[in-house]
Structure 1
Amino acid sequence: MTRATNEPTDAPIAERIEDVDVSDEMQGSFLEYAYSVIYSRALPDARDGLKPVQRRILYMMSDMGLRPDRGHVKSARVVGEVMGKLHPHGDSAIYDALVRLAQPFTLRVPLVDGHGNFGSLDDGPAAARYTEARLAAPAMSMTEHLDEDVVDFVPNYDNSHQQPEVLPAAIPNLLVNGASGIAVGMATNMAPHNLIEVVQAARHLIQHPEATLDELMEFVPGPDFPSGGTIVGLAGIRDAYANGRGSFKTRARVSVEQVTARKTGLVVTELPYLVGPEKVIEKIKDGVNAKKITGISDVTDLTDRNRGLRLVIGVKTGFNPQAVLEQLYRLTPLEDSFNINNVALVDGQPQTLGLRDLLSVYIAHRVRVVTRRSEYRLARRRERLHLVEGLLIAILDIDEVIQVIRTSDDADAARTRLQEVFDLSQLQAEYILELRLRRLTRFSRIELEAERDQLLAEIAQLDELLSSDARIRALVAEELGHAAELYGTPRRTLLTEARPQPAGASRKAIAAADLEHADVPCRVFLSSTGRIARVDRQPGDEGIAVTAPARRSKHDAIRSSLDTTSRTEIGAVTSRGRLIRFSPLELPVMPGNSVQLGAGVRVAEYLALTDRDEQVLGLVSLDAAQPIVLGTAQGVVKRVSPGGYPNRPDFEVIALKPGDRVVGVAQGGDDDELVFVTSDAQLLHFPASAVRPQGCAAGGMAGIKLDAGASVISFTVLAPDDVASAVVVTVAASGDTLLGADPGTAKVSDFSEFPGKGRATGGVRAQRFLKGQDALSVAWVGPAPARALGSDGSTRNLPEGGAKRDGSGSPLEAVVQVVGRGIR
């Protein structure tokens, strides 16, 4: 590469050519460009969360006096001031940044109060000459105390003006409003958050500098978008908070409403962040025309200023609204992804920051701002005190002061003589010379003495504040709390975990199944060996009647059953005290009205349980008025108050003690009997009314008194109609015998043989151990007939019923793994 230059001389022009390596030239030019984009345009500062253009806009508007209590001015005037004094770029870039600062659908806490058409999610703003702007109230906290030397000032592009290097930022703007930008070789995309939650986390970190991420996430559980919506799945949020990168799904908030007397519709009231209704309508129309979306009759946008966003999607007759909604989530922007990439400038260097890092950088900035502000105020008060003390000296000897001044040749001589006669400093003497005579009254002396005392008190307070880092941090926390009270608003975005899906099933397959199958009544069965299936009621049937197959099949002992519908959400309670919501829609349907649980799927696979030690114990209705009843291995019993369950895919229904687990679960009323059977062959039953219902967070109460080394192996709830026909099945074995080598002995007794006892007592003996036996391996209580199964699900024979309550058992032919209820 050659570069030609012409040297200006009086002689004839001579050409001079320099050889330049093209790679060096490109590298140097590109690095300069990249540096300019990264540091001067695209990335926000982690301290105030602003890019240079945004910072210059707020500072210039503050300098122009565009406060919230004053009138708006033309946006073009603001743009002109910023461009002429601070920002060496085009007016369009400045106005675009100004517009973003004023859009309530873009920022969680807007910093500019716009008047006029500042655009929408689907349309751009009006020109700068048509709109007006002034600072919003939160922006005042971003720029306050700039005149108190709280931040450094740097020259503008031509050294004609000074501008702040960073704003004081009394609110954590970067986390609250987020940021987005594309630089050279890097980009940033930060989600908005709730101001109150971020301030609570910052204050906690101030008080507990060693706080962990989990502790901070108790205050900041996730982003809070200006548009509301729902975040589905929280794993990506935690990744982003831990290392600065993560992704999650956001969904629109949709309700199913009766639009007209004969028409049902999906009403959209909140959309994912930065998704406009016109974009959604366009995608729906494209999907309908391409026959990818079915079941939609029309789409109407009823959005206005009074009701806000309201998008009504008509559903054709015969289509399930929830199934149509699932299609829309999959094929339209009603569900969108948000990728977090927390890149910001820290000490002039781009860094990827997690939640704790972002809070730490901001807190350090505020501590520095408050420290500099306090130092500035202390210096000003000391200067004022120095002058006040000089004035008091002058007033006390005012006659002599006047005489000294009158006998002096000029002002310099008067100043020098005042310093010598009254032992004053040069500043004090100069101030006395400029003093007006009307200040020499008795009231002025009283005012000066009061001012001196107040200055001394304020100086003492500031000295005390600056002497302690803990006091400064406490003041920072107090000011943050005040900002949250002034500008904080309730959370808008709902946070939910991802709903569990059947193993191997795609959302597309589920949506198709939703459309093909109606919501029909059914009964869901859970086998004692952990298989789950359902029986549908046939058209014209008055009820659900099921029968056992003509030939006994594997896995046909029932642990739990529930009448519901194919689309109704029900709950599965596990041994860890969790309730998992799920729909039986994708469950295998048993043919006719015959129960063949061997054809079912493993419930652990259907609910995607990852812990092999976690076992599903029973099915419960989420809409029933009867409490959920649980019994644990350590003898705890609990009745969970019906209704009001957390709106999450899974949640705990009992607070288990360490080492404890749930052994039985059912639903029942006050007239039911609660039955415990322990490993040392004790049986206790008492009325359910003896147990007071509690909330999900409670730990229950004592159910049965256990002897040392014993544990509960069976817990059952018997309805009043089942008590008369109920039987007690117990299987005794030796703990020292090799598993499967000795089947042990079993006994079947009538439940009526066992007397009831009070809650938290020891119960009565249910089986007498033979020589070598030391514990029950299996126990079951329920209405006859009882069905015993082996480890492979095959049927095992049980002894005849009617055995004595405390008698010994009869030898078994094969090992019994579980016992459940047989089909009548």
Structure 2
Amino acid sequence: MSENTENQQDGRIIQINIEEQMKTAYIDYSMSVIVGRALPDVRDGLKPVHRRVLFGMNELGNNSNKPYKKSARIVGEVMGKFHPHGDASIYDTIVRMAQPWSLRYMLVDGQGNFGSVDGDMPAAMRYTEIRLQRMAEAMLEDIDKETVDFTLNFDDTLEEPTVLPTRIPNLLINGASGIAVGMATNIMPHNLSEVVDGLIAYIDNRDITIEELIKHVKAPDFPTGGIIYGYEGVKQGFETGRGRVVVRGKVNVETSKAGRERLVIYELPYQINKAALHQKIAQLADDKIIEGISEARDESDRDGMRLVIDLKREAIANVVINQLYKYSELQTSYGINNVALVKGRPRVLNLKDMLSEFVDFRHEVVVRRTRFDLRKAEEKAHILQGYLIALDHLDEVIALIRASRTPEEAKEGLMTRFELSEIQSKAILELRLQRLTGMERDKIKEEYDEVMKLIAYLKEILSDEGLRFKIIKEELEDVKKRFGDERKTEIQYLASEMRMEDIIAEEDVVITISHLGYIKRTSAYDYRQQKRGGRGALGGKTREEDYIEHLFVASTHHTMLFFTEKGRCYWLKVYEIPEGEKSGKGRAIQNLINLPTDDKIRAIIDIKDLGDKEFISSHYIVLCTANGIIKKTLLEDFSRPRQNGVNAITINEGDQLLEAKLTNGNSQIMMAIKSGRAIRFPENTVRDTGRGAIGVRGIEVDNDKDEVVGMICVNKEDETRTVLVVSEKGFGKRTDIEEYRITNRGGKGVKTINITEKTGSLIAILDVTEKDDLMITCKSGITIRMAVADIREAGRATQGVRLIRLDDSDEIAAVARLDEQEEQRLDEEAQEGMEGNEPGQDGSSAAQGEAPVDETPAE
């Protein structure tokens, strides 16, 4: 007891709280595991053991263009110099880096037995041979140019790199998994070409969103292929660094010569043991959990994987496949947990974080490499400059050297006489005599000039950040060209998460709606252009009492707003409209939207994106009725689709909604009535009201015998637009909008067309430019397409030109404008169609000698 007391007093025994000691020791241990074993560095994506193996192989000259070396030689080198742990851990690391089913892009080129996807063990390291892959060499490039920091090894006798100066974004392309203390990491492998595209997109725009980056880096890409089933977990992993990816194996259904079906599994989920899966499937069949399997056998060979499952005669292949996904590892889920070391600290990283950290690291490597190259170039220039001074005074230099008793004396003499540095003087003394010839002197001068150019370029790199990032991009593009490949893993979206816009091609389509409410969409190219006065083509088969009433062009990704004659508004995506043949009648619109049987579509507005807040808050819907009522409502009031529609305008008894237009609030509104009059007034004279309002009078209409036929909204500054009017019997003309004077809203208006028995009543009014095309549809179903430029301009009070020749019993039902002319419209089909429509060949009125235009002013 007294001895202990004495020792305590001597200070050789220190009292320590065991709780504190355990806490401190455990924290030290855990940090050692986190930093030195389990987690990869965000920059090169490697753990210390991988980095030491690659560095050790590089130091031994074990390159891709050299002969293989025994694995045991490399293991001994790495263990003795850099990694003082078991040889098994080093060899296991080498084996994994040489297995094509373990790494998406292998870093070690192996020769010999490195195991199999069935879980077979690799041969012992004394039997196998290895060398670096070309990709691993790209990770070690420039390591001798002071691009990365080195640290002392475990016994302070050698130096090893703290990180590799990689050009390859290894963390993302090969992923990583590891369990540390209190944390773990599980980073999925990705496709190199996609990752490089993502890096370049990030360099071009540092504010790029993860949503935009996902267009480049689409999803993980596993070395064993398979199918990613569902995208939401992948997207969550990209956005937060944590998520879940479900992967399925690929299965084909084959039919044997005997007519029996069999399943062939030819790709497995990542890290799944084929032999264990085979055994599991056989067990499921034996236990009657999956009824339809008669036999399972492995027919894999050097040509590829082939796990064959024979089905019983009554079994349904798809049912068995779904059961395999449910009960076996043919469907496996992986937790995404992107934890990596950033500046020595573990951090959860999203996709943008990982890309930005790599770009920042590459920038640092380029700067350090350039500084090294600049220093070496300046040192070389310094020596060459000394050579040039010596060559310019050659005889004097030779005499000085000959007169010197020792090299040291000669060196001092050169430094004093020619003001040279010690380095230059030593280099001159070591100069070989052959370099004193005239040709060699010229070479030294050329070499000096080249080095000076290089120095100027290197200094430019160091002073210009844009140039540095250009170099990074060029090096990344070179990496993609050398090592990039196609995706191995397919992506399969679930129905609940699929955006239809992503899988439906964006194209212009013609939407047609018949008088009785049948709707369809057809490719715009199905309608060829014809000459004015032609017979037209059949635009849609309809029942005798039906005809095409609405016809317009829209993109498949847009949203259509449908306005009914009772003042309701409904929504429908263009791609949701069934596609039909040009001559087909389409599908009843009641089957697509909840439209009552006693209501019908009167107007349609095409909106590009209802989610564009700026657009919907600055645009209006202007509505007009047959009795001349007009109303304006903010588009935002129509931006929240409802299945049963909403009320757009309150319609008075005996009236109905006729037209709806989208405006920016500064338009000129024109309304035309059946008897041939039109009114023009500024939009701002109509104040905007809520959806349920009645509206105000736009034009005076005699309700007993007249009604509004149409409304147009034209911007004041658009001088290219003219007013096109068309009558029932196929006459039409264009008139300058300025011929219609601006009047007060609610007046009678002015004459817009001379109505006669020959022309019939006014049927349509449109605003057009000479670049537009016109679609005219008749009640008989005939459709003709023509260029607006072919319709000449005429005064307000004329009857116009014949646009389409009609049978006596036929009338025009609808007129629509196509916003842009088709490119290369005169293709072979159009040429054929036009050849038959030249004047004099189709019996048109112009060919029969009838005057095509009557421009006589009305009485």
Q: TM-score range by the shorter chain?
A: 0.5 to 0.7
Deviation at 1:319, TM superposition (A): 1.1
Residues 499 and 736 of structure 1, relative CA distance in 2, 3 Å threshold: closer
Between the aligned partners of 1:413 and 1:577, the Cα distance in structure 2 is: 84
Between the aligned partners of 1:369 and 1:491, the Cα distance in structure 2 is: 29
Which of 568, 572, 586 is matched with 1:661 structurally? 572
1:755 pairs with 2:666? no
- Do 1:577 and 1:656's aligned partners in 2 also have CA atoms closer than 8 Å? no
Which of 121, 124, 132 is matched with 2:121 structurally? 124
1:59 pairs with 2:55? yes
Residues 430 and 19 of structure 1, relative CA distance in 2, 3 Å threshold: same
- Do 1:682 and 1:765's aligned partners in 2 also have CA atoms closer than 8 Å? no
Residues 578 and 396 of structure 1, relative CA distance in 2, 3 Å threshold: closer
Which of 161, 164, 169 is matched with 1:164 structurally? 161
Between the aligned partners of 2:301 and 2:434, the Cα distance in structure 1 is: 64
Deviation at 1:669, TM superposition (A): 3.3
Runs (5+) with no aligned partner, structure 1: 8-13, 502-572, 581-626, 643-651, 685-706, 712-732, 743-751, 768-824
Between the aligned partners of 2:58 and 2:86, the Cα distance in structure 1 is: 21
- Do 1:116 and 1:131's aligned partners in 2 also have CA atoms closer than 8 Å? yes
**AA matched with 1:89:** H
- Do 1:246 and 1:340's aligned partners in 2 also have CA atoms closer than 8 Å? yes
Which of 152, 160, 183 is matched with 1:186 structurally? 183
Aligned-partner SS, 1:247: strand
- Do 1:244 and 1:340's aligned partners in 2 also have CA atoms closer than 8 Å? yes
Counterpart of 1:30?
Answer: 26
**AA matched with 1:51:** K
Deviation at 1:261, TM superposition (A): 2.3
Deviation at 1:276, TM superposition (A): 2.1
Counterpart of 2:239?
Answer: 242
1:488 pairs with 2:484? yes
- Do 1:683 and 1:766's aligned partners in 2 also have CA atoms closer than 8 Å? no
Residues 653 and 99 of structure 1, relative CA distance in 2, 3 Å threshold: farther
Between the aligned partners of 1:415 and 1:400, the Cα distance in structure 2 is: 14
Q: Which runs of structure 2 are paired with 1:628-647 in the superposition (5 Å)?
A: 638-639=521-522
The more displaced of 72-81 and 424-433 is: 424-433
Aligned-partner SS, 1:106: coil
Counterpart of 1:327?
Answer: 323
- Do 2:518 and 2:586's aligned partners in 1 also have CA atoms closer than 8 Å? no
Between the aligned partners of 1:432 and 1:403, the Cα distance in structure 2 is: 13
Q: Deviations over 1:22-59 (max 9, x none)?
A: 21221122112111100000000000000000000000
Between the aligned partners of 2:136 and 2:489, the Cα distance in structure 1 is: 24
Residues 79 and 673 of structure 1, relative CA distance in 2, 3 Å threshold: same
Residues 446 and 754 of structure 1, relative CA distance in 2, 3 Å threshold: closer
Counterpart of 1:465?
Answer: 461
Which of 455, 475, 479 is matched with 1:479 structurally? 475
Between the aligned partners of 1:361 and 1:302, the Cα distance in structure 2 is: 45
**AA matched with 2:488:** R
Counterpart of 1:114?
Answer: 110
Counterpart of 1:197?
Answer: 194
Deviation at 1:641, TM superposition (A): 11
Residues 84 and 766 of structure 1, relative CA distance in 2, 3 Å threshold: same
Counterpart of 1:338?
Answer: 334
The more displaced of 755-764 and 324-333 is: 755-764
**AA matched with 2:96:** R
Residues 497 and 424 of structure 1, relative CA distance in 2, 3 Å threshold: same
Q: Deviations over 1:635-667 (max 9, x none)?
A: 99632699xxxxxxxxx9922158663488445
Counterpart of 1:593?
Answer: none
Between the aligned partners of 1:239 and 1:734, the Cα distance in structure 2 is: 39
**AA matched with 1:672:** G
Counterpart of 2:367?
Answer: 371
Residues 682 and 324 of structure 1, relative CA distance in 2, 3 Å threshold: closer
Aligned-partner SS, 1:709: strand
- Do 2:519 and 2:587's aligned partners in 1 also have CA atoms closer than 8 Å? no
Deviation at 1:88, TM superposition (A): 1.3
Deviation at 1:671, TM superposition (A): 3.4
1:96 pairs with 2:121? no
Aligned-partner SS, 1:215: helix
Counterpart of 1:380?
Answer: 376
Counterpart of 2:134?
Answer: 137
Counterpart of 1:210?
Answer: 207
Deviation at 1:408, TM superposition (A): 2.5
Aligned-partner SS, 2:104: coil
Aligned-partner SS, 1:312: strand
Q: TM-score, normalised by structure 2?
A: 0.62
Q: TM-score, normalised by structure 1?
A: 0.65
**AA matched with 2:121:** G
- Whichever of the two has the greater Rg, that structure is 2
Counterpart of 2:710?
Answer: none
Between the aligned partners of 1:131 and 1:6, the Cα distance in structure 2 is: 62
Residues 675 and 26 of structure 1, relative CA distance in 2, 3 Å threshold: closer
Between the aligned partners of 1:764 and 1:43, the Cα distance in structure 2 is: 78
Deviation at 1:440, TM superposition (A): 1.4
Between the aligned partners of 1:247 and 1:207, the Cα distance in structure 2 is: 30
Aligned-partner SS, 2:30: helix
1:736 pairs with 2:644? no
Between the aligned partners of 2:437 and 2:404, the Cα distance in structure 1 is: 24
Counterpart of 1:294?
Answer: 291
Q: Deviations over 1:754-809 (max 9, x none)?
A: 43353689997999xxxxxxxxxxxxxxxxxxxxxxxxxxxxxxxxxxxxxxxxxx
- Do 1:5 and 1:16's aligned partners in 2 also have CA atoms closer than 8 Å? no
Deviation at 1:185, TM superposition (A): 0.3
- Do 1:682 and 1:764's aligned partners in 2 also have CA atoms closer than 8 Å? no
- Do 2:292 and 2:312's aligned partners in 1 also have CA atoms closer than 8 Å? yes
Counterpart of 1:697?
Answer: none
Residues 284 and 675 of structure 1, relative CA distance in 2, 3 Å threshold: closer
Q: Deviations over 1:540-565 (max 9, x none)?
A: xxxxxxxxxxxxxxxxxxxxxxxxxx
- Do 1:676 and 1:683's aligned partners in 2 also have CA atoms closer than 8 Å? no
Deviation at 1:406, TM superposition (A): 2.1
Which of 245, 253, 276 is matched with 2:250 structurally? 253
Percent identity, aligned pairs only?
A: 40
Runs (5+) with no aligned partner, structure 2: 526-553, 562-570, 590-594, 604-620, 626-646, 657-776, 787-802, 804-809, 815-859
Between the aligned partners of 1:318 and 1:628, the Cα distance in structure 2 is: 46
Q: Deviations over 1:346-371 (max 9, x none)?
A: 00000000000000000111111111
Aligned-partner SS, 2:254: strand
Between the aligned partners of 1:738 and 1:333, the Cα distance in structure 2 is: 66
Aligned-partner SS, 2:783: coil
Residues 88 and 681 of structure 1, relative CA distance in 2, 3 Å threshold: closer
Between the aligned partners of 2:502 and 2:477, the Cα distance in structure 1 is: 37
1:671 pairs with 2:580? no
1:409 pairs with 2:405? yes
Residues 354 and 662 of structure 1, relative CA distance in 2, 3 Å threshold: closer
Counterpart of 1:72?
Answer: 68
- Do 1:268 and 1:310's aligned partners in 2 also have CA atoms closer than 8 Å? yes
Aligned-partner SS, 1:661: strand
- Do 1:114 and 1:133's aligned partners in 2 also have CA atoms closer than 8 Å? yes
- Do 1:632 and 1:661's aligned partners in 2 also have CA atoms closer than 8 Å? no
Aligned residues: 577
- Do 1:5 and 1:17's aligned partners in 2 also have CA atoms closer than 8 Å? no
Deviation at 1:87, TM superposition (A): 0.5
**AA matched with 1:490:** E
Between the aligned partners of 1:577 and 1:131, the Cα distance in structure 2 is: 52
- Do 1:233 and 1:498's aligned partners in 2 also have CA atoms closer than 8 Å? yes
Residues 653 and 340 of structure 1, relative CA distance in 2, 3 Å threshold: farther
Between the aligned partners of 1:577 and 1:18, the Cα distance in structure 2 is: 72
Q: Which runs of structure 2 are paired with 1:568-587 in the superposition (5 Å)?
A: none
- Superposed CA RMSD: 3.8
Deviation at 1:71, TM superposition (A): 0.9
Residues 654 and 133 of structure 1, relative CA distance in 2, 3 Å threshold: same
